[in-house]
Amino acid sequence: MNFLDELNEIQREAVVNFEGPTLIVAGPGSGKTRVLTYRIAYLLQQGASPFSVLSLTFTNKAAEEMRHRIEKIAGTNARSLFMGTFHSVFARILRVEAPRLGYPSNFTIYDTEDSRSLIKSIIKEKNLDDKIYKPNQIQYRISSAKNALILPDDYLLDAELTEEDRTAKKPETGAIYKAYCERCFKSGAMDFDDLLLKTHEILNTFPEVLYKYQHKFKYVLIDEFQDTNPLQYSIVKRIADAFQNITVVGDDAQSIYAFRGATIDNILNFEKDFPDLKVFKLEQNYRSTEQIVKAANKLIAHNKNQIKKEIWTSNGSGENIKIVRSPSDKEEGKFVADSILETKMRNRLMNSDFAILYRTNAQSRVFEESLRRVNIPYKIYGGMSFYQRKEIKDLLAYLKLAINHYDEEALKRVINYPARGIGQTSIDKIITTAINEGKRAWDILETIDFHDFPSRTKNSIDEFVSMVKSFAVLAKEKNAYEVTIHAAKITTLLSELHNDKTVEGLSRYENIQELLNGIKEFVEEDVVGEGEDEALLSDKSLGSYLQNITLLTGDEKDKDNIDTVKLMTIHSAKGLEFPVVFIVGMEENLFPAGQSIYSLEDLEEERRLFYVAVTRAERKLFLSYASTRYKFGSLQYCEPSRFLKEIPEEILSILGDLKREQSKQMLNKLSTTIKVPTPSPKPLTGIENFVPDDVSNLQTGMDVIHEKFGEGKVIAMDGQAANRVATIFFEGFGQKKIMLKFAKLKILKHS
């Protein structure tokens, strides 16, 4: 069969009309990759030389998959295509042209770690404080400058940039940038940003080189064009100027990488640079149901800056989108885990059919814990489990050391983090001395005055030992949260991460805050015991918390090869699809993010991010939010996200109390609405002849009587086997958590 027969009408038009500037606006699930692949294959079939085709992607995986597909249609010719990522293709060009700029043709490419190492060296050589001039922050600043086409000399002359550096108490940033570039040049090395910057420089400095590549690449094709930055677009625009056979494929509604330097302006203003532009809109969605597609259309219509299109599907109506309100973020996690269990059984689905999408990495914690409790295997996509993240392990190591000074792994992890002048040589010497003397490493630290170490190192070790001992004293007097927040501040871990304003630094700080939120939740959780067990269950000490969290995380296994639920940020989900999707944390100041609501451009990017999340779903979509959430250690009330209001009511099923958004009339129509009553004081009458029942089979929804709290309703069940905990609402007393093995309850039988 002719491969063109596999395409719908508009897809076919986009493939066969390959001359001149072309914009292919590809909605979600519209067959974008197939169209781009077939367009290149058709080009080759029509006699174009594979050496004349330049095809740029954003991942090596995408490039290889496309090349493989093209080869199946057009044969081995496809192997000669100039196809790859921007960086890999421009590196090939620079291998030939770099000597024009004084670089060797076999120049070295520095990866992120190489670049950071060089920056560290320069900071040290300039006798600058690396606690102020943090290498990763300087690296981020240099990268941003390069991608904005700001060279070192221009940077030093830019009053705004130098004033920003002075305000940040880093006035030598420009000098470091200049020294870094000079050292790279002397070493015959380029970093990843240079692969773009130097290509741009050569094309603009040497007209004969520009002419050469303009006439070599008669056809230029770019995938995910909405994700390009100004530097990338400037290069390809120059190359395509001669023949103007430039094809860009993308979706402005899925432009979500501004924080990486991408600009939506490239796709929105493409027609200004190429007035003879042909536009093909791929609007048929092959992925999702009508309800999901309708929600996405209505949502994105609120954005002012966009290319108008109307996505449609013939996949059938499908189920309404479900909006869920939970009393707290912990209950939100429980709802999602329970819903996955129920939906799996009812629809015979696999774990891999489910995805939980969130705005920030830190949100994964409650969902990881909830999934573990019901034994659902999961995998963090594009990241790592919450408790395996470096910053989390660092703070937990301090806490473990406070409880157990002899924990050598915890000791080695934090004895010099944040840096306090105890180098690796000293650490190795401490361990070796302990082994030789048959002692523990902590014993050596406590008696450091009697060992052969430099006085400066001894002082640093003395301060470290005193600090850890002070944590131990505090741990005997205060609860887990009070000890942890104190340790986070005194060790300077909190300020270290707070001062790192890079994207990664902000994420690490959010993770630490989420750990603190979890500990605060643990401390304030009201779990009821009986008699002598009351003290055991109400133990909120640091030791109790660490034992609890160790048991929770101790069953980590390699989940790469088993059927798992996927957890990921929405940014990581782009390009993926799942039968069932939960978008969680749909709250103001979380999604949209708090810093985005004061700028139209930022708010529209947040809406595009939500659009991407919605369009990952094939059959079922849940939108979830919590009424309360711990933030910075205190319980805060949350407003539902404004984005929820932008989805038509007629395609929603509401599973929670959305009084702020919905009328009472609509709430009354929805039998599935759950309302958790507000406690109101009520005197308790005595219960005579109280005899507790066997509650091993207690279930959500049952009515019970407690000897102290009176009548109540079971609103949630957590845990497994002997550790099951019931959350029960008692009128006049509110919610109480009661561990069943200690519970004294009578189950009410209804006639």
Catalytically annotated residues:
32-33, 223-224, 254, 616
| CA atoms within a 13 Å half-sphere pointing along the CA-CB vector of 129 | 6
Is residue 355 within 8 Å of residue 573, measured between CB atoms? yes
From 187, 198, 202, 193, select the one nearest 106 (Cα to Cα): 187
In three-state secondary structure terms, 587 is: strand
Rg of the chain's alpha carbons, rounded to an integer? 30
> Residue 650: CB partners within 8 Å, gap ≥ 6?
none
Tokens of 240: 């395509």
CB atoms within 10 A of CB 18: 18
Tell me phi and psi for residue 352, to 5 degrees: -70, -5
Identify the DSSP state of 715: E
Identify the DSSP state of 499: T
> Residue 465: CB partners within 8 Å, gap ≥ 6?
445, 446, 448
Residue recorded with tokens 């077939």:
38
Distance, CA of 631 to CA of 83 (rounded, Å): 46
Distance, CA of 165 to CA of 177 (rounded, Å): 12
**Strand 710-718 to 725-730 pairing:** antiparallel
From 544, 542, 540, select the one nearest 525 (Cα to Cα): 540
Tokens of 92: 């090939």
Is residue 616 within 8 Å of residue 582, measured between CB atoms? no
Tokens of 504: 């990664």
Distance, CA of 158 to CA of 34 (rounded, Å): 46
CB atoms within 10 A of CB 523: 19
CB atoms within 10 A of CB 289: 23
